[in-house]
Amino acid sequence: MIQLLKKINLFETLLESELGKIAKICRLEAAQKGAAIFKEGDAGDRCYIIMKGEVRISKFIPNIGEEALAVLKPGDYFGEMALIDNFPRSAHAIANSDVEMLGINKTELDKILIMDHELGYKLLWAFTKTLSKRLRETNEKMANFLAMTGGF
């Protein structure tokens, strides 16, 4: 499991001992193509790392339908906002194909981070970089959308 986690950019700065702590709380989960892994508005209690398959992150827009925000592939992770705040899910996560994932439960991760502040700092920094990158991508998509619609 540690060798798999080493390949995930979220964990690239972690030491082997730190990866071992994370590996102990990872749970293998699966979803069939088309299944909702979670829906917008659901309570968030875990994040996921894709091992096999693809996951589509999307929002449903009234009178328009589904708007895909991203299609994530092996090595990508999603749902990490649930590890940081206690707000409901901000989008849908749908299996774009049959998917195998590692799930990391917030409560179990919090227990580790209380005991190991250095690990917590490293993960928080990685989450911050991911959220910043995704916010920039969303801003760019919004700017393109507004340019196409004339700003309405």
pLDDT of residue 101: 97
CA dihedral 96, 10, 109, 15 (to 10 degrees): 140
- Give the domain range for residue 30: 2-149
* HSE-CB for 8 with a 13 A CA cutoff: 29
Q: What is the CATH number of the domain that holds 115?
A: 2.60.120.10
Q: How many domains does the chain have?
A: 1
Strands (E), 5-119: 26-31, 36-38, 46-52, 55-61, 65-72, 77-78, 92-95, 99-105
pLDDT of residue 49: 94
DSSP 3-state percent helix, strand, coil across the chain (nearest 5): 45, 30, 30
152, pLDDT greater than 70: no
C-alpha span between 48 and 26 (Å, rounded): 9
Q: How many of the other CB atoms lie within 10 Å of CB of 56?
A: 19
The structure's pTM equals 0.84
pLDDT band at 1 (very low <50, low <70, confident <90, very high): confident
